[in-house]
Amino acid sequence: MHVVIIGNGITGATAALELRQLDADCRITMISGESKFHFSRPALMYIFMGHMSYQQTKPHPDSTWADNRIELLRDWITDIDTASKQLSLHKGGTLDYDRLLIATGARSNKFGWPGQDLQGVQGLYDLPDLKRLHDNVITAKQAVIVGGGLIGIELAEMLHSCGVPVTFLVRESSYWNNVLPEPESAMVSRLIRQAGFGLKLETGLKEIEDDGTGRVGAIITDKDERIECQLVGLTAGVSPNIQLVKETAIDTGRGILVDWSLRTNVADVFAAGDCAEIVTEGDGRNLLQQVWYTGKMQARIAARGLAGLEATYDPGIWYNSAKFLDLEYHTYGQVNLCIPAEQNLYWEHPDGLHSIRIVYLADRVIGINTMGVRFRHRLCEAWIAEQRPLEYVLEHLAEANFDPEFCRRFEAHAAAQFSKAVA
């Protein structure tokens, strides 16, 4: 049996290795046009800033793939023929498969802005973007980043590290406040300004101007302000990368539509990771998960399917972490989702660099957010899964701390304030 995996991101790579554990004999081919080996996409910024070489962002030694008999192919797939189970390769030729996993990831959003295809306008998603950034910074005296999210702030940090001034255009009234509650969002906004970045809130992009040579010369905001710039970063979110499958027999919505076993509507074709949209029956919304760990978890389920085994995806309790400049952020469970009857407790250190938030219902805690404080994933997860009441969590709050030894501890302080607020 020949299993072909399109994409060598975390989803493709995890699926390939997991499949090898499940099935010692099948032939496995993993294809990507982006790089020869799997690398860590979240580490893109560290390559640019010189924290690591590209080689160091590869999670496994190069020999891993040969040792596990996973064939690697550096090429772009240009077409999928599901009837004859055949893929077309850009460099020529075709490849037959018995089972297929599509793990093509995502792409930066472009919302049809005039001028969005000019030279100097780019997203930050993959190695081609990194290459573009190297070319684009050479002439950049000023950069504008459109859309404030996790990738936007990373791009800003990258540009800052090589001396290019940055202005953010953010549609929301405060940085990333569609995800972060107001005080945390204010904290990040403050840090962004302190770092010397321009931050224009409630401001969108209207148009990107050509400087006469096919390169960007300026942008115009939806408030008709003109900002001269030679580089525009488009970081207004990402969408599933489904171009390849758009005109095939495989059903798509926002992403590639799959069931909870990550099977598409076509037999023997699976999809997982950033490109997959899990169809939810009933009135629930379809599930589109675009982070590292969900790609990894979905890959394990898909690998079981590829091996002919049964498995159902269980997203478990949501968590994530990120870093805004030097501020670390951890989140567990449901925060800022306006759940009916939810209540919030929030503590912030006077220095404005540490905070703890607990979201709870009458009988249980449903979410935890921390800024500048590290919390234990497994403990927070257990509290939420076991539906622990607020009193219990407050009593045990200090146990959740995961900061290095000798760091200042804030949990006792926060818990005391919380207990007082509740009483």
Partner 1 sequence: MPLPADTLSYDFDEEGVGFGAPKTPAAAHGDGLSGAQKIALTMVGLGLLSLVAQVSGGFIAGSWLGLATSIGLLAVGAILAFWLQHRDSVAGIKHDGIFFSSLLARGSAAWIAGIGMTGLYVLLYWYPQYLGQPVVGGEPTGLIRVVDPLARLMTGYPASQWFLYGVLYTGAIFVFGVRMIMKYRHNRYQQIRTASVAFFQLVFAWFLPNLLVRFRQPYMEFNGVWPLKQNYLWPEKAAGQFLDAGAFGIFLLCFAVALVVATPVLTYFFGKRWYCSWVCGCGGLAETLGDPFRQLSSKSTRAWQIERWMIHSVLVIVLVVTASLWIDYKMTGNLYGSWSGPLRQWYGFFIGAVFSGVVGVGFYPLLGSRVWCRFGCPQAAILGLWQRFFSRFRITTNGGQCMSCGNCSTYCEMGIDVRAYAEKGENIVRSSCVGCGICAAVCPRGVLKLENGGTHADRYAGAATPITAFLDALEHRPKLVMPVAASGSQRDDPAVKRK
Ligand X SMILES: Cc1cc2nc3c(=O)[nH]c(=O)nc-3n(C[C@H](O)[C@H](O)[C@H](O)COP(=O)(O)OP(=O)(O)OC[C@H]3O[C@@H](n4cnc5c(N)ncnc54)[C@H](O)[C@@H]3O)c2cc1C
Binding site for ligand X (CB under 6 A): 6-12, 31-34, 41-42, 44, 76-77, 103-106, 124-126, 151, 154, 241, 244, 273-274, 290-293, 295, 322
For residue 18, the partner it binds in partner 1, ligand X, none, with Cβ less than 5 to 8 A by kind, is partner 1
Which position among 4, 7, 8, 14 is part of the footprint of partner 1 (CB under 8 A)?
Answer: 14
Taking the least distance from each CB to ligand X, the nearer of 172 and 274 is 274
User: What is the token pair recorded at 313?
Assistant: 């995806």
User: What is the token pair recorded at 145?
Assistant: 């980043």
For residue 8, the partner it binds in partner 1, ligand X, none, with Cβ less than 5 to 8 A by kind, is ligand X
- Integer Cα distance of 386 and 279 in angstroms: 27
- Integer Cα distance of 336 and 185 in angstroms: 11
Least distance in Å: CB of 185 to partner 1? 19
Q: Does residue 150 sit in helix, strand or coil? A: helix
Decide if residue 43 touches partner 1 (CB under 8 A).
Answer: yes
Least distance in Å: CB of 291 to partner 1? 8
For residue 61, the partner it binds in partner 1, ligand X, none, with Cβ less than 5 to 8 A by kind, is partner 1
Decide if residue 93 touches partner 1 (CB under 8 A).
Answer: no
| Whole-angstrom Cα Rg for the chain | 23
For residue 6, the partner it binds in ligand X, partner 1, none, with Cβ less than 5 to 8 A by kind, is ligand X
Nearest to 274 by CA among 154, 75, 102, 402: 102
Which x/- pattern over 292-321 shows residues binding partner 1 (rule: CB under 8 A)? xx--xxx-xx---------xxxxxxx-x-x
For residue 48, the partner it binds in ligand X, partner 1, none, with Cβ less than 5 to 8 A by kind, is partner 1
Decide if residue 196 touches partner 1 (CB under 8 A).
Answer: no
Which position among 213, 267, 378, 423 is part of the footprint of partner 1 (CB under 8 A)?
Answer: 378
Q: Which residues pair with 333 in a beta bridge?
A: 367
For residue 230, the partner it binds in partner 1, ligand X, none, with Cβ less than 5 to 8 A by kind, is partner 1
- Integer Cα distance of 41 and 338 in angstroms: 31
Least distance in Å: CB of 89 to ligand X? 9
* Kind of pairing between the strands at 205-210 and 94-96: unpaired
For residue 277, the partner it binds in partner 1, ligand X, none, with Cβ less than 5 to 8 A by kind, is none
Least distance in Å: CB of 33 to partner 1? 7
Least distance in Å: CB of 280 to partner 1? 16
Decide if residue 68 touches partner 1 (CB under 8 A).
Answer: yes
Taking the least distance from each CB to partner 1, the nearer of 35 and 417 is 35
Q: Residue 286 in contact with residue 253, Cβ under 8 Å?
A: yes
- Integer Cα distance of 129 and 63 in angstroms: 27
For residue 134, the partner it binds in partner 1, ligand X, none, with Cβ less than 5 to 8 A by kind, is partner 1
Residues 113-172 within binding reach of partner 1 (CB under 8 A) = 127-128, 130-131, 133-134, 137-142, 161-165
User: Residue 25 corresponds to which amino acid?
Assistant: D
Q: Which residues pair with 145 in a beta bridge?
A: 168, 233
Decide if residue 392 touches partner 1 (CB under 8 A).
Answer: no
CA angle centred on 340, ends 336 and 341, rounded to 5°: 100
**Which residue in the shown chain puts its C-beta closest to ligand X?**
105
Q: Does residue 365 sit in helix, strand or coil? A: strand
C-alpha torsion sign, points 192, 196, 201, 203: negative
Decide if residue 388 touches partner 1 (CB under 8 A).
Answer: no
Which distant-in-sequence residues (6+ apart) come within 8 Å of 301 by Cβ?
Answer: 261, 262, 272, 311, 312, 313
